[in-house]
């Protein structure tokens, strides 16, 4: 930036010197001197206008850069938020899976206990049936012996 200001100062000084030289040389030709003076003033005005346009463009570019930076920050924040949501979701899924595993184990244990109880009851019923068969067989034998003895 310092070099540009220095360059502008040198250019301004050169223009002033040029104007003085033109005025000194063309003192008797006022219309030509005036035309050259107006030409230099027009050139300086165009230069100033271009510099202002360049500054406006630079400001717009800076604003666009700031807007892009803001958008990038928002995108980064959204990405971080999504990552946090993913992590939290994973934690919740793991917690649910643990609860399901606990309930599955409890269900499996109750089912196994129920099968064990059912097997015991079937064995008890089978034992009673066997006992009833033996009792019935013994009674039939007793009745046969009584019938044979009574004949």
| Prediction pTM value | 0.45
Q: What is the mean pLDDT of each run of 10 residues along the chain (151 residues)?
A: 63 76 72 73 80 90 94 94 93 92 93 92 94 92 86 66
Alpha helices in the chain (DSSP H): 2-25, 30-150
Res 49: pLDDT: 83
The contacts of residue 22 (CB under 8 Å, 6+ apart) are 33, 36, 37
Q: Angle formed by the axes of helices 30-150 and 2-25, to 10°?
A: 160
Res 5: pLDDT: 67
Whether 15 contacts 40, CB under 8 Å: yes
Res 24: pLDDT: 74
The contacts of residue 26 (CB under 8 Å, 6+ apart) are 32, 33, 36
Four-residue CA torsion sign, 136, 138, 144, 147: negative
DSSP 26: T
Res 1: pLDDT: 43
Cα distance between residue 68 and residue 71, in whole Å: 5
Tokens, residue 37: 């003076």
């Amino acid at each position: 930036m310092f070099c540009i200001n220095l360059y502008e100062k040198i250019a301004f000084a050169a223009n002033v010197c040029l104007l003085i030289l033109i005025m000194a040389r063309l003192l008797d030709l006022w219309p030509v001197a005036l035309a050259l003076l107006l030409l230099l003033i027009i050139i300086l005005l165009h230069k100033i206008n271009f510099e202002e346009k360049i500054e406006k463009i630079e400001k717009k570019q800076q604003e666009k850069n700031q807007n892009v930076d803001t958008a990038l920050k928002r995108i980064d924040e959204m990405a971080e938020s999504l990552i946090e949501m993913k992590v939290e979701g994973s934690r919740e899924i793991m917690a649910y899976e643990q609860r399901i595993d606990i309930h599955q184990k409890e269900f499996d244990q109750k089912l196994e206990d129920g099968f064990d109880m059912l097997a015991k009851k079937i064995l008890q019923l089978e034992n009673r049936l066997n006992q009833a068969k033996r009792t019935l067989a013994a009674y039939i034998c007793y009745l046969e012996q009584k019938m044979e003895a009574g004949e």
